A = this chain, B = another copy of it.
Amino acid sequence: MATLPLLTDEAADPAARAVFDDIRAKRQTEYVNNFWRALAHDPALLQATWDRLQQVMAPGALDPLVKELIYVAVSVTNGCAYCTHSHTAAAKAKGMTPDMHAELLAVIAMAAQTNALATALQVPTDERFQA
């Protein structure tokens, strides 16, 4: 159902397979999800995306769960079904409780609503909001 077949380990190029193995090692699971298997047709893009993802999602000034909540919010707003599923699952794995999930949904819905109103009204930005 993808625009390119999902590559099994056998079908993947050695460079792509090395990324699969790194995903397995870092995530401590045998499972490599469909996104990486679809991306594996271009080993360089696969590698660049996986490397960047690790850097961006690492603990920093924001903790990994907060980053995952932000990731879900963007994915929902972009209407990406795959990403909404995969990052909601990731957020749960990183400790998102049902209450957190409920509040995440409420904030996303609230923002969608006021975004629409501000755009419909074409509200000019207050001077004090500008850096």
Contacts and interface: CB of A to CB of B under 8 A. Distances in A.
A107 to B, nearest CB: 5
A94 interface: no
A24 interface: no
Contacts of A79: 78-80, 119
Contacts of A124: 1-2, 6, 34, 82
Contacts of A49: 109, 113-114, 117
A110 B3 contact: no
Interface of A: 1-6, 31, 33-35, 38-39, 41-42, 45, 48-49, 52-53, 55-57, 60-62, 66-67, 69-89, 97-126, 128-131
